[in-house]
Amino acid sequence: MVHAVYPGSFDPLHNGHVDVIRRASRLFDKLTVGVTHNPLKSTALFDIEERLAMVRESTKGLSNVDAESFEGLLVDYMRARQAGVIVKGLRVISDFEYELQMAHLNRQMNADVETLFVMTATRWSFVSSTRVKEIATYGADVTKLVPPATQRRILERFGALQDDVPG
Ligand code: PNS
């Protein structure tokens, strides 16, 4: 049984993430979405429980996918869960440099774990949580970029959307 973990901060979950989850769920027996705090990203919008709820609601139809939060090093979490594969999403080449560094470091810390990359669909290649947060903060519409579970929470947080945003 191959158990894979798709780790990230998912603050918030967007359509690119959901696309990677769908693709990876077809490749592995079990896929756990591991939600954690990334100390490099200091401005969290949603707390971990809210992010977990977004992932769970958005992956309801995928029977081999679950979601869990973790703290500390990813490689330690992988060991604790006896999971052998880290899944990372790639949008553009610049993602790869950052991801390659992490993959090598994770391999150095735990040689039993492989990192596999899944490319997002082209249509989501420009979507990032940081930009979704930024757009939402200005009260503009992110409906096309995020699943309904995220959209609802953004609306709750920022109130009604402006309807005069082009495009
Ligand atoms: O969605 P993100 O914020 O780009 O995901 C980054 C994440 C959470 C996967 C990465 O920061 C991580 O693995 N954090 C856990 C701590 C850890 O293991 N750090 C060492 C990485 S070499």
CA of 163 to the centre of ligand 1 (A): 36
Residues 63-116 pLDDT 10s? 999 999 999 999 999 999 999 999 999 999 999 999 999 999 999 999 999 999
Answer whether 45's CB lies under 8 Å from 155's CB. Answer: no
pTM to 2 decimal places: 0.94
* Average pLDDT value for residue range 110-123: 97
Ligand 1 binding pocket (C-beta < 6 A) is 7-9, 36, 38, 41, 73-74, 102, 105-106
**Count of CB atoms situated within 10 Å of the CB of 83:** 21
Tokens 């200091």 identify what position?
A: 42
60 Rama sector, left if φ>0, alpha if ψ -120 to 50, beta otherwise: alpha
The torsion angle over the Cα atoms of residues 52, 2, 16 and 51, rounded to 10 degrees, is: 10
Asked whether the predicted pLDDT for residue 32 surpasses 70, the reply is: yes
Mean residue pLDDT of the chain comes to 94
CA of 157 to the centre of ligand 1 (A): 26
pLDDT of residue 38: 85
- Measure the CA–CA gap between 124 and 127, rounded to whole angstroms: 5
Nearest CA to ligand 1 atom 22: 102
Domain ranges of the chain: 3-164
CATH architecture of 3-164: 3-Layer(aba) Sandwich (3.40)
Q: Is residue 69 flagged as an active site residue?
A: no
